[in-house]
Every structure is written in C-alpha cells, then in structure tokens.
C-alpha cells in the first residue's frame, strides 16, 4: 500500500500532464466559462478586493478574468512568495502597470514593495490555482503548501477561497492530509 504522500505526488504528476496536453481551443473555452462564473460570484458577493494568480503549466488562464475585473474598477492582487517566511505568501496590488519579475519557480510576480501589500483579512475572494480537486471541494496543489498555509482557518476569516479548474482535474476522492480544508467552491470550465 502506497503512502498518502506517494499517492498525492503520483496524482499530481498525472493530472499536470493531462492539463498540459489540453488544446489551445480547450483552454480558451474553459477560460471563458470560468471567467463568466467568477464574475457572477464577484457580483453576488459584492467583492472589491480580489486575488488571482498568473497561470502557468496549463492552469485555467486568469488573464480574461483579470482584465474584466480591471474594467469593473475592482482591486486585483497577486501572490508573492514571502522573502524570508518560507512556504508563505503575501498578496500585492496588481494593475496593468505593475512590473513583474520571475520568482524561484519562474512564475512572474510583482516586485516586493511594502506599500502594495494588502493584509489577507482585507481580501474578499482568493481565486486559487489547483492541480486536482474532488466533489467535497478538497484541493491538491503544486506541493509547496503555499495556499494550504494561506487558506488554513479560512472559515474564521473574511475572504472565501474559490478554486478554478478544468473538468479533467476532477478526481473521485483525493487522498487528503490533516491540513487540507475544503474550498468554499470550485468553478469548473
């Protein structure tokens, strides 16, 4: 019998490969569907401060959503790896003028500037990347535990965490760890 962590890393590899193999047309359609669902949720929650992420590795493309949010004069934020608190993230204001520099994983992020940090408790929605999810709303990420740490205890906070995913990322039941807390919702494209 394989350990939970072995099963999680095997699943991570398998679904990342499937996701990377989606066609350009699949990607465009999925992003359109998810953008519409996300904008509906933003309106329903009267959300003003919204965290997104810059997509890579076949993740749902958040660019159309980001541009729609800017057009609605919403405040948009991106995760930035914490410079010395290993495994933690900060959320920085993101505008079309924001200068981006690649982090240690090659994902572009805003240059760290204390003036642009928004404390997590002021966010209304955190749109969350994920590799795999199940019907219960559990998520499996890239394996760094970054979002796990940010989202722990979210029921006692103001924001809601909402995953964005392709249909092919759904599994029957994820092998979960003690720190996994189901998301508020997962929008599927």
- Site track for ligand FFO across 48-87, x = CB under 6 A: -----xxxx--x-------------------x--------
| CB-based contacts of 153, cutoff 8 Å, min separation 6 | 181
179 binds, among ligand ATP, ligand FFO, none (CB under 5 to 8 A by kind): ligand ATP
CA distance linking residue 50 with residue 56, whole number of Å:
19
| CB-based contacts of 28, cutoff 8 Å, min separation 6 | 61
Q: For residues 114-143, which are near ligand FFO according to CB under 6 A?
A: 129, 141-143
| 134 touches 140 (CB < 8 A) | no
Residue (133 or 147) nearer to ligand FFO, CB: 147
| CB-based contacts of 51, cutoff 8 Å, min separation 6 | 76, 77, 78, 79, 91, 123, 125, 126, 127, 159
Expressed in percent and rounded to 5, the helix, strand and coil fractions of the chain are 35, 20, 45
Q: For residues 24-53, which are near ligand FFO according to CB under 6 A?
A: 53
Q: For residues 107-166, which are near ligand ATP according to CB under 6 A?
A: 140-149, 152
43 binds, among ligand FFO, ligand ATP, none (CB under 5 to 8 A by kind): none
Locate 54 and state its tokens: 């810059």
127 binds, among ligand ATP, ligand FFO, none (CB under 5 to 8 A by kind): none
Question: Binding site: residue ranges?
Answer: 8-12, 54, 59, 139-147
CB of 80 to ligand ATP, least distance (A): 14
CA distance linking residue 9 with residue 109, whole number of Å:
26
Locate 23 and state its tokens: 């066609």
Question: Binding site for ATP: residue ranges?
Answer: 8-12, 139-147
CB of 29 to ligand FFO, least distance (A): 20
Footprint on this chain of ligand ATP (rule: CB under 6 A): 8, 140-149, 152, 177, 179
């Amino acid at each position: 019998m394989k350990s939970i962590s072995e099963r999680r890393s095997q699943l991570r590899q398998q679904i990342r490969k499937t996701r990377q193999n989606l066609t350009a047309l699949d990607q465009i359609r999925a992003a359109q569907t998810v953008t519409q669902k996300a904008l509906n949720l933003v309106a329903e929650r009267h959300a003003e401060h919204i965290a997104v992420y810059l997509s890579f590795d076949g993740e749902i493309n958040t660019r159309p959503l980001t541009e729609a949010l800017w057009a609605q004069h919403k405040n948009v934020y991106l995760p930035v790896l914490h410079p010395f608190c290993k495994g933690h993230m900060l959320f920085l204001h993101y505008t079309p003028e924001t200068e981006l520099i690649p982090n240690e994983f090659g994902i572009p992020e805003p240059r760290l500037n204390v003036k642009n940090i928004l404390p997590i408790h002021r966010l209304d929605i955190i749109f969350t990347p994920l590799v795999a999810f199940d019907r219960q709303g559990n998520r499996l990420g890239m394996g760094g535990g970054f979002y796990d740490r940010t989202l722990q205890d979210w029921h006692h906070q103001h924001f809601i965490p909402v995953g964005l995913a392709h249909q092919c990322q759904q599994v029957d039941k994820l092998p979960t760890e003690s720190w996994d807390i189901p998301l508020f919702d997962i929008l599927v494209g």
